[in-house]
């Protein structure tokens, strides 16, 4: 919460207009009258005019309302094959402007803060590292559409648009304008009880316009018997050169975690990406807090430390033929992975004990089919920015061998996922199925069967704004697991707002329901969304999953966020939890930063062990 207070004055001028681009005409007309009358009333004195300009934008008087494009619509198809003469980079101020309203210049204070408190991403870096095309290239509609999506998905950027401007002098040439609006680059966080106990953190996600990011935080607690001073720093270099490789170095020195690691990775960014891979190495020391499934009230503490390295590389292939199944958005992908883990500290291990802490190395191979496309939408997990919803499916088969200090064993797994917009405007549905298990002497070890279903409705008009309904179902069945290898249904794993070490087991089923009302109001630059939720969970401890109690959580609250800022969505919530074990109060209040969820894509990455979660 403190990070928001530190920039309160700056936030007040960042009113966002994107949500109104999707409002129906009737709502826009009513809001236009409302804000026009307000503007007239506040124009009577110089002071009130200044207050109006500081807090509001005239977003309801801009004429035609933009429409969200359907998935089949590619605005660049008309220009397919034209030659790019010039690429023009237009960078907007972080405050006072929008990619949907480039003519707006903002007031003097907005322009001053945009120039003095932020350095825009360097134009040369945009051209070299963020664009998939160059001057002299032929326009490829799909490449342009993918590039626009990649720009929007970058946390450095609030929103982006690519415009093609045909030249009048040469009919087969066109200029390309790339409009980019950066996010606010500085984030601060902290807490202060006294000079003997405080925490301070600072993150710059775009150091001097280079796109590099640096996070540094320190903690001091004079009364801490383990470690009074704690420190972490993470430095990230996204898209090194024109390789689309991201590098990261981490150094963490805290009570429960010590880490020194480096990582380089390149994903299958688009359907046209042929190669992907990653390399990671590090030294990690964890302080673990576990429970016994047979006695969840008994806590077990121990330390694990290990060295590791992990390498994978993948290749994407276009199918040599096209039809309804294997079309231009489909790819066949092969990937190879090798990793090694060597423990220096751990609990007791044996041939049938604590397999997750064995010294081991694994060789994995995966074969997969991926089909993916995207539909542009708004007001899902964002507050008005353009969101690219993945639609498509994937099927991946993984197999390999693991060499351990207690002998070798095989592994096999399968993953299938599908996402689509339902017909008749019934909303979006995503389904995921996972199966994976080790095998030794024809017997399964550490097996997992899991499934997940996510649904959200179409935007439902409600007075002057909209609401959406969200549904999430999750099921996990772990079999032949070790005593310290279990799952929990607290927080993001099931019932939000709680953190109970006693809701553990090897099988779980959770259902989450949420209704979100996206208000048309803006409070000091923040778009507001109200929500109500109900979460339900089953977890097996010492009893059958379906015969156990249904743990429950109900609540309501509101979230607000300014899309121009990289802060997490701020959230206030009250929850009612009638039957959580060890719960001292059935009512809980929370004020925290809520990291927005992201829709799962259908790109295939590293061959991996099915996660037990």
pLDDT at position 384 is 72
pLDDT digits (tens, 9 = 90+) for 211-253: 999 999 999 998 888 888 999 999 999 888 888 899 999 999 9
Can you name the residues that pair with 133 across neighbouring β-strands? none
How many angstroms separate the CA atoms of 233 and 200, rounded? 12
pLDDT at position 28 is 36
pLDDT at position 27 is 38
Q: Quick check: 456 and 469 in contact, CB under 8 A? A: yes
- CA 196-201-206 angle, to 5 degrees, is 165
How many angstroms separate the CA atoms of 260 and 374, rounded? 37
* Structure tokens that stand for 308 in this block: 């590791």
Select from 159, 182, 205 the last residue of a domain: 182
- Whether 93 maps to a domain, the answer reads yes
- Residues in CB range of 101: below 8 A, 6 or more apart: 17, 59, 62
pLDDT at position 45 is 66
- The residue among 158, 153, 211 whose CA lies nearest residue 181 is 158
- Whether 117 maps to a domain, the answer reads yes
| Full domain range(s) for residue 130 | 2-68+75-182
- Residues in CB range of 168: below 8 A, 6 or more apart: none
- Kindly provide the b/e burial profile for residues 209-219, where b requires at least 16 CB atoms within 10 angstroms of the residue's own CB: bebbbebebbb
CATH code at position 90: 3.10.20.310
Question: CA-CA distances (angstroms) from residue 546 to 363, 491, 542?
Answer: 37, 21, 12
How many angstroms separate the CA atoms of 290 and 561, rounded? 36
How many angstroms separate the CA atoms of 591 and 146, rounded? 37
How many angstroms separate the CA atoms of 445 and 485, rounded? 12
pLDDT at position 92 is 84
- Whether 492 maps to a domain, the answer reads yes
- Whether 239 maps to a domain, the answer reads no
How many angstroms separate the CA atoms of 395 and 416, rounded? 5
How many angstroms separate the CA atoms of 140 and 137, rounded? 9
* Structure tokens that stand for 217 in this block: 């935080």
Q: What is the largest CA-CA distance in the chain?
A: 85
Q: Quick check: 316 and 268 in contact, CB under 8 A? A: yes
- The residue among 233, 191, 188, 215 whose CA lies nearest residue 565 is 188
How many angstroms separate the CA atoms of 485 and 505, rounded? 9
Select from 162, 182, 202 the last residue of a domain: 182
Q: Quick check: 553 and 576 in contact, CB under 8 A? A: yes
- Whether 148 maps to a domain, the answer reads yes
CATH code at position 585: 2.40.160
Number of folded domains in the chain? 2
Q: Quick check: 429 and 419 in contact, CB under 8 A? A: yes
pLDDT at position 409 is 96
- Whether 611 maps to a domain, the answer reads no
How many angstroms separate the CA atoms of 411 and 447, rounded? 10
- Whether 231 maps to a domain, the answer reads no
Q: Quick check: 218 and 189 in contact, CB under 8 A? A: no
Residues of the chain with confidence (pLDDT) below 70: 1-73, 95-116, 321-327, 523-525, 542, 562-568, 593-597
Instruction: Give CA 418 to chain center in angstroms.
Output: 19
How many angstroms separate the CA atoms of 378 and 517, rounded? 13
- Whether 308 maps to a domain, the answer reads no
Select from 182, 215, 230 the last residue of a domain: 182
pLDDT at position 476 is 96
């Amino acid at each position: 919460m403190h990070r928001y207070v530190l920039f309160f004055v700056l936030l007040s001028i960042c009113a966002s207009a994107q949500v109104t681009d999707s409002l129906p005409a009737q709502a826009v007309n009513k809001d236009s009258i409302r804000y026009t009358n307000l503007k007239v009333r506040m124009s009577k004195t110089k002071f009130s005019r200044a207050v109006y300009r500081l807090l509001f934008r005239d977003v309801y008087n801009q004429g035609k309302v933009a429409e969200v494009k359907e998935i089949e619509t590619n605005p660049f198809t008309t220009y397919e094959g034209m030659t790019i003469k010039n690429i023009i980079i237009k960078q907007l101020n972080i405050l006072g402007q929008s990619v949907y309203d480039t003519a707006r210049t903002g007031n003097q204070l907005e322009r001053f803060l945009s120039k003095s408190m932020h350095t825009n991403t360097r134009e040369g870096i945009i051209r070299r590292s963020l664009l998939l095309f160059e001057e002299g290239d032929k326009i490829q509609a799909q490449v342009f559409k993918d590039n626009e999506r990649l720009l929007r998905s970058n946390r450095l950027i609030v929103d982006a648009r690519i415009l093609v401007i045909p030249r009048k002098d040469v009919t087969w040439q066109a200029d390309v304008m790339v409009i980019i609006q950066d996010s606010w680059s500085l984030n601060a966080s902290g807490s202060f009880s006294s000079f003997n106990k405080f925490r301070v953190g600072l993150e710059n996600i775009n150091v001097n316009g280079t796109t590099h990011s640096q996070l540094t935080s320190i903690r001091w607690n004079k009364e801490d018997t383990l470690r009074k001073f704690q420190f972490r720093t993470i430095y990230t270099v996204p898209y090194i050169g024109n390789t689309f490789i991201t590098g990261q170095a981490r150094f963490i020195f805290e009570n429960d975690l010590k880490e020194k690691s480096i990582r380089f990775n390149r994903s299958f960014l688009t359907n046209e990406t042929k190669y992907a891979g990653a390399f990671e190495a590090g030294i990690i020391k964890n302080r673990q807090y576990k429970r016994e499934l047979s006695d969840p009230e008994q806590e077990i503490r121990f330390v694990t430390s290990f060295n590791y390295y992990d390498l994978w590389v993948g290749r994407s292939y276009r199918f040599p033929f096209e039809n309804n199944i294997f079309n231009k958005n489909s790819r066949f992908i092969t990937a190879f992975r090798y990793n090694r883990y060597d423990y220096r500290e751990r609990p007791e291990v044996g041939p049938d004990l604590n397999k997750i802490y064995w010294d081991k190395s694994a060789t994995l191979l995966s074969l997969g089919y991926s089909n993916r496309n995207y539909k542009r939408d708004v007001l899902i997990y964002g507050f008005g920015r353009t969101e690219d919803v993945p639609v498509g499916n994937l099927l991946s088969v993984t197999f390999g061998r693991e060499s351990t200090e207690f002998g070798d064993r095989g592994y096999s797994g399968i993953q299938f996922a599908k996402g689509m917009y339902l017909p008749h405007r019934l909303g979006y549905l995503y389904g995921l199925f996972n199966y994976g298990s080790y095998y030794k002497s024809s017997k399964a070890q550490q097996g997992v069967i899991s499934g997940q279903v996510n649904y959200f409705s179409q935007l439902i008009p409600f007075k002057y704004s909209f609401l959406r309904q969200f549904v999430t179902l999750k099921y996990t069945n772990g079999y032949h697991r070790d005593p310290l290898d279990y799952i929990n249904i607290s927080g993001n794993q099931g019932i939000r707002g709680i953190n109970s070490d006693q809701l553990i087991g090897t099988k779980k089923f959770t259902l989450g329901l949420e209704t979100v009302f996206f208000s048309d109001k803006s409070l000091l630059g923040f778009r507001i969304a109200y929500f109500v939720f109900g979460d339900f969970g089953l977890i097996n401890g010492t009893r059958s999953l379906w015969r156990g109690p249904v743990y429950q959580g109900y609540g309501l609250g509101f979230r607000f966020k300014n899309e121009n800022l990289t802060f997490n969505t701020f959230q206030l919530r009250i929850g009612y939890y009638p039957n959580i074990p060890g719960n001292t109060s059935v009512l809980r209040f929370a004020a925290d930063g809520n990291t927005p969820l992201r829709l799962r894509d259908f790109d295939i990455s590293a061959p991996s062990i099915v996660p037990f979660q």
